[in-house]
Chain A
Amino acid sequence: MRNRDWSEAEATSAPQTGPGREHEAALIGRIQRGERELFYELIRPYERRVFVIAFAILRNEADAQDAVQDAFLKAFKYLSQFRHESRFSTWLIQVAINEARLRQRKSHLEIMRPIENQENEDGTYTPRDFADWREIPLEVLERKEVREKLVAALGSLAQKYREVFVLRDVEHMSIEDTAQTLGISAGAVKTRLLRARLMLRDLLAPGLGGIWAGHSQVPKGTKPWS
């Protein structure tokens, strides 16, 4: 796998409970009392996560980067209003999602939303592809074109599915935290997650099930992004 840079390597997973969370609460208290430089330490575990979520919403690296910066600035500005009623990570990601959505509305990207946005969430999704799959080694991610196809497939999902999928499957947040962050029920998270996974599987089947993985069982011309 690719080497991660020092910042990613040093970034620890977000504290959920115990001493890590207490340390985080202490940090927030010290920042609120004026030790502003500690803000860097506070957000360090979440920098990458916030970027990925902003990118999933905006589907553009530059816009996502701007949104991330604005989100952290807002978090810094309004940290005094954080009341520890939720996890800091939940609050921070909510700030980031709001910032990305706001930026998206400003750039009128919603008129370009995928057609799935208009689908009824309650409807059952039926897979289209039933080719044999074998286990795909993670090494395929070293290939830039594979990553681009995966990103494109994710970007083609409706936003409500992208958000849930990224929080749960990319950032490994729990169902409950995902629900709290997005302000929806756990049941809705599960429903959207199921559909997102099934849709991505269908979108990627021609490539990951065959050509990219080294064997060709899928007829040409079936790639959804071609």
Chain B
Amino acid sequence: MVVKCEDVLREISNYFEGDLDPALKRALDDHFAQCARCRSVRDGMRNVIELYGDKSMFPLPAGFYPQLHDRLADQVEGQRGTRRAWLVSVGVTGALAASALLAAAIDRFVPRPRSEMSQPARRLPQRLVAVVDGGKMFHVPGCPFMHGKYHLVTPEEAVREGYAPCNRCMYEALRSAGNVSLDFEGEEAASNESEGK
């Protein structure tokens, strides 16, 4: 088989690919032995392929790996953030649910005060107290501000039933028993002042 220079130019790339049948390759080799121009094409192409094919031809820029990994880590961090946000939301939901359960339990075991305007009892006398049927306060028996039919209960029982202490009689009873703090007196004084008493 005899090949011409134009055949070489057409097949030279396949020659380096090893993509020629043996007869054609032998014919090209014979041609190279005789043709300096085609030899120049072959040798130049071989150099091109070998030089560009070397890994050191395209060195990676400085900081390539750290920057790439930082950027990817940001994304992963974002995913972690989402996971963290999910955990937080689960935690908050759990806390709210626990709060609701606690409120329900409190509501169940600590009845609402009968008078929303009254302060709940902070200290209790060591004696039975009187509660008036249909009333909202518990009193020292005989309190002048107590009207109607009453019955006696323990202070704890009165609190549990939602009764509030009578500001007047109960305050006096606790103070005489030495069971009232200065704070309480201060609050009381402030309260009296605000009422113009």
Interface residues, chain A, with chain B CB atoms under 8 Å away: 1-2, 4-5, 7-8, 36-37, 39-40, 47-48, 51-52, 55, 61-62, 65, 68-69, 72-73, 76-77, 124-127, 129-136, 138, 140-142, 147, 150-151, 154, 165, 169-170, 172, 175, 190, 193-194, 197-198, 200-202, 204-205, 208-209
Are A208 and B51 touching (Cβ within 8 A)?
Answer: yes
Size of interface on B: residues with Cβ below 8 Å to A: 43
- Chain A residues positioned under 8 Å from B60 (CB to CB): 5, 8, 48, 51
- Chain B residues positioned under 8 Å from A69 (CB to CB): 67-68, 71-72
B37-81 interface code vs A (CB 8 A; 1 in, 0 out): 101110111111111111111111100110111011001100100
B100 beta carbon closer than 8 Å to chain A: no
B89 beta carbon closer than 8 Å to chain A: no
Chain B nearest CB from A38 CB (Å) reads 11
Chain B nearest CB from A137 CB (Å) reads 9
A135 CA / B51 CA spacing, docked (Å)? 10
Are B9 and A126 touching (Cβ within 8 A)?
Answer: yes
- Chain A residues positioned under 8 Å from B166 (CB to CB): none
- Chain B residues positioned under 8 Å from A197 (CB to CB): 12-13, 16, 45, 48-49
Question: A47 with B65: in contact, given A55-B58, A150-B57, A172-B53 (CB under 8 Å)?
Answer: yes
Question: A135 with B47: in contact, given A52-B58, A76-B72, A170-B58 (CB under 8 Å)?
Answer: yes
B105 beta carbon closer than 8 Å to chain A: no
Are A130 and B40 touching (Cβ within 8 A)?
Answer: yes
Central interface residue in B37, B67, B75, by most chain A CB within 10 Å: B75
Chain B nearest CB from A66 CB (Å) reads 9
Chain A nearest CB from B128 CB (Å) reads 67
- Chain A residues positioned under 8 Å from B126 (CB to CB): none
Least CB separation from B72: chain A residue: A72
Are B36 and A130 touching (Cβ within 8 A)?
Answer: yes
B19-41 interface code vs A (CB 8 A; 1 in, 0 out): 10000000000000000110111
Least CB separation from A172: chain B residue: B53
Are B45 and A198 touching (Cβ within 8 A)?
Answer: yes
Sample 19 A-B pairs with CB under 8 A, ordered by A number.
A2-B59, A7-B65, A40-B69, A47-B68, A69-B71, A124-B10, A129-B40, A129-B44, A135-B46, A136-B47, A138-B51, A138-B54, A141-B54, A190-B13, A197-B45, A200-B52, A201-B41, A204-B44, A209-B44
